[in-house]
Amino acid sequence: MIPMKLTYIIPFLFFTSLSHSNADKEINMATDQWKPYYAQGMQNQGPITEITRLVLNQLDYQLNVSFVPWNRALEHTKKGNYDAILGAYSNTERDLYFWYSDAITISETILFGHQDSYKQTANLNAFEGSRICIINGYYYSDAFTGNRLFSKVKSNTLDHCFKRLIARRVDYVAADKRVGQALLNEQFSEDKALLTMLPLVISQQTLHILWSKKTADFFELNKAFNLKLQELKKSGEIEAIWKKHGF
């Protein structure tokens, strides 16, 4: 007969080990440098990184983020070499490879151009014949991608797009409004007065964590992540992080 004390100890040890089964586990995410949302040199690697780390820490996971070129982040996470992509859009093609977290924030993509190329229009067709610089591998919108009236000039980085724009090798740059403004302020302070933001909104899209479907367990982790994210939103902790980063 098992002593009474032992019968209590065994279940206690079992449930204790179960409750800490995720302790010290690491989640490895990849993404591009995308100030002011996330970047290597930002405080706590930016607000989206800080929010994601807070959620995962409360689920007993540690977060590691690798900042790499966007296409590498996308393709390697599809293959399962990274666990997830930090802060990205959803689209039909990505549905095949990823589970999406609940929305973390909203991104608004617009056009930047020279002052003398300003167009007061919300119609993409008004840019017929224009050369618009885009980032290789980025998703903008189906309407933008499918429009054949203007050419899309691919670049690997947004700063290269703006260099092309300033040199008038392209007519416009398509970029997230906040990201474009941050980059111009940081790297092109002497030239930004030549440029302007156009009123055309290419897209308004939500940003998510994209969990690789190569690991089946991430389906359940994503559900737990979403529950904790909503809990922290209700408590005001998420809003406090955004405010700390100037949003």
CA atoms of 64 and 71, how far apart (whole Å): 19
Query: Would 9 be classed as within a structural domain?
Result: no
6 in any annotated domain:
no
What is the structure's pLDDT at 24? 55
Taking a C-beta distance cutoff of 8 angstroms, is the pair 213, 98 a contact? Answer: yes
196 and 132 part of one domain: yes
Same domain, 186 and 228: no
Residue 81 and residue 117 in one domain = no
The β-bridge partners of 85 are 30, 210
Taking CB atoms within 8 Å and a gap of at least 24, the contacts of 1-8 are: none
Q: What are 160-170's pLDDT values in tens digits?
A: 999 999 999 99
Contact 122, 201 (CB under 8 A): yes
Structural domain contains residue 8: no
Amino acid letter for position 80: G
Indicate whether 89 belongs to any domain: yes
Whether 29 maps to a domain, the answer reads: yes
Q: Is the domain of 74 the same as that of 119?
A: no
Domain that holds residue 180: 107-205
Tens digits of residue pLDDT in 154-211: 999 999 999 999 999 999 999 999 999 999 999 999 999 999 999 999 999 999 999 9
Same domain, 212 and 240: yes
Q: 111 and 87 in one domain?
A: no
- CA–CA gap between residue 245 and residue 227 (Å, rounded): 24
Report the relative pairing of strands 61-67 and 25-31 from DSSP bridges. Answer: parallel
- Dihedral sign for Cα 128, 133, 136, 138, please: negative
Look at the chain and report how many structural domains it folds into. Answer: 2
Task: Residue 42: give its domain's CATH number.
Answer: 3.40.190.10
Same domain, 90 and 114: no
Answer for the pair 29, 52: CB distance below 8 angstroms, yes or no: yes
Q: What is the pLDDT of residues 81-133, one digit of tens each?
A: 999 999 999 999 999 999 999 999 999 999 999 999 999 999 999 999 999 99
